[in-house]
Structure 1
Amino acid sequence: MATVVVFHAHPDDEVILTGGTIARLAADGHRVVVVVATDGNVEGPDDAPGDAPDRIAELRASAAVLGAARVAALGYADSGFGPEFYPDPPGRVRFARADTEEAAGRLAEILRDERADVLLSYEANGGYGHRDHVQVHPVGERAAELAGVGRVLYATMPRETLMRGLRIATALRLPYFYGPDVVPTAYSPRDTITHEIDVRSVAGVKKRALAKHVSQVPAGLRFCPTPLFALFTGREWFVERGVAAAGKPAGRLL
């Protein structure tokens, strides 16, 4: 059995991008460790202390549903996604400003402690350009180097699928998370994807895990029929570092 460390920027990213994969790996007997760089709270200058939800507690509840063996946080503050980049909160550094070597050292310590076989991380574009997601890439690369983890895969989505979704949403005048300025360079072209994991069999697990992020996810999610949820979230994709995509993507990570 292998140990897989899954490195994400914020709580809830672990479900959205890799929840089904975590559940499948855990069900197969592999040890899965979820690490987040930040607690997911932006903490602007007008926010009162204690106002922020405990998103790490939500993460722990989500990870328990998925079957992860351990949750760890590097301790950085969320850098936010909007144009305004707030100053660092008292006593903490926003992850996008973190020293790469220091942050990588924190992650490498976990990788060594776990004797990790595989690291799941992000590509250089951070998926959709969030400054914390972008920072995950160099920190993950350096941590893998420091800890001697040779196998690294990047959680992603097919860019063409996002483009199709944007066109449909635009035609129907529906809100869409990824704007037209983001989609053309978001995530990965389909022909670079090395792994496509069918996670429809664990869609119910993934839905229950996502529902644990109560501060982020609409309460109505629990009323979404699992088959419908599986239709939209039943695939997860990865690009393996140093591996050229050839033909049909692999259906398993291990």
Structure 2
Amino acid sequence: MRHACVFFHAHPDDEALLTAGTMARLAAEGHRVVLVVATAGEQGLAAPEAVGEGSLGTVRTAELHASAKALGCARVEFLGYADSGLDGAAVAAPGGPTPFASADVEEAATRLADLLREENASLLTTYDPAGGYGHPDHVRVHHVGARAAEIAGTPVVLEATVDRDLLLRGLRLASKVYPFPPEFDPRTFETAYSPRAAITHKVDVRRYTPAKRQSMAAHVTQATGGDSTRTLAALLRIPRPLFRWTLGTEWYVQRGTPPGRVHRHPLATLTES
């Protein structure tokens, strides 16, 4: 049986970092993959030369469509909210859209629920309660997504996350050979994402890392700008064999799933029920 699977993200490039392999896998298996993004990411960092003469939001929208094509998405939609900025302090321009972090949860959830019902979605992905690393727009994705699934009756909701235990171990090992910049504090990740004990789905996406890499590479603006190396730029420098090993797993939490068993497919709890 083929299913409609909706992946809900805050900004363009979030899909590349957290769920790209799963999206490519489901599309390759014949499922309908739909990418929904709350904002155009117009508050993101980017070097002027990467943006050119257009607005950052316009450029990032085009980048998202290129990423979605690489992953096999059947549809891309924007909820139409404004990017709230890294600290969530962005304010709406006169007559402009509401920043997502301050959007009414019920209103935003209703917009998303309409799309879920239209697609007859079997699966919705959101973020964990911390929003991964705490970005206010990511936290809003968690709340809006959870409520939208309730309204629409979407049976499976997976919170895209990272295995915190593995991440912290990797950072400790990396610190022995790589001098982190002064502004980077690995301790900030001690409360980010989800502990291993909470993870319910560990999805093998190694076969789909070429598409995942292509998705990341589509977001040119997000590999530039700022005072330190951007995450996307650093990941794209990883040699391909190591990239496949390092980024060949994606993690999710499904609330209410009995503990003790980790599923290997994103639709496992649906097909097993």
Residue aligning to 1:15: 16
Taking structure 1 as reference, are residues 238 and 177 closer, same or farther at Cα in structure 2, changes over 3 Å only?
farther
Of the three residues 201, 216, 223, the one matched with 2:207 is 201
Distance 2:11 2:183 in 1: 17
Whole-angstrom CA distance in 1 between matches of 2:65 and 2:91: 28
Q: How many residue pairs end up in the alignment?
A: 249
The answer to whether the 8 Å contact 1:107/1:140 transfers is: yes
- State the alpha-carbon separation in 2 of the partners of residues 229 and 250 from structure 1: 23
Per the TM alignment, residue 24 of structure 1 is displaced from its structure 2 partner at its CA by 0.5
What letter is aligned with 1:95? Answer: F
How many Å apart are 1:166 and its aligned residue? 2.8
What is the CA–CA distance in structure 2 between the aligned matches of 1:160 and 1:177, rounded to whole Å? 22
Match of 1:111 in 2: 116
Distance 1:156 1:30 in 2: 22
Matches within 5 A, 1:26-41: 26-41=27-42
Does the 8 A contact of 1:118 with 1:150 survive in 2? yes
Task: Report which of the two has the higher share of helix.
Answer: 2
In the alignment, structure 1 residue 78 sits paired with structure 2 residue 83: yes
Q: In 2 relative to 1, CA 178–230 (structure 1 residues): closer, same or farther, beyond 3 Å?
A: farther
Q: 1:204 to 1:176 in 2, by over 3 A?
A: farther
- The farther-off stretch of 33-42 and 49-58 is 49-58
Q: Which residue of 2 aligns with 1:185?
A: 191
Does residue 221 of structure 2 align to residue 215 of structure 1?
Answer: yes
Taking the aligned partners of 2:44 and 2:195, their CA distance within structure 1 comes to: 34
Tell which deviates more after alignment, 168-177 or 68-77: 168-177
Q: Deviation digits for residues 147-171 of structure 1, max 9, x if unmatched?
A: 1112111101111122123323444
Asked if residue 245 in structure 1 is aligned to residue 259 in structure 2, the reply is yes
Q: Name the CA distance, whole Å, in 1 between partners of 2:237 and 2:182.
A: 21
Cα distance in structure 2, aligned partners of 1:221 and 1:180: 17
CA positional deviation for 1:176: 9.6
> Aligned-pair RMSD on alpha carbons?
2.4
Q: Which runs of 5+ in 1 are unaligned?
A: none
Taking structure 2 as the reference length, the TM-score comes to 0.84
Deviation at 1:174, TM superposition (A): 2.3
Pair 177,68 (structure 1): closer, same or farther in 2 beyond 3 Å:
farther
Counterpart residue number, 1:2 = 3
Q: Counterpart of 1:66 in structure 2: which amino acid?
A: L
TM-score (norm 1): 0.90
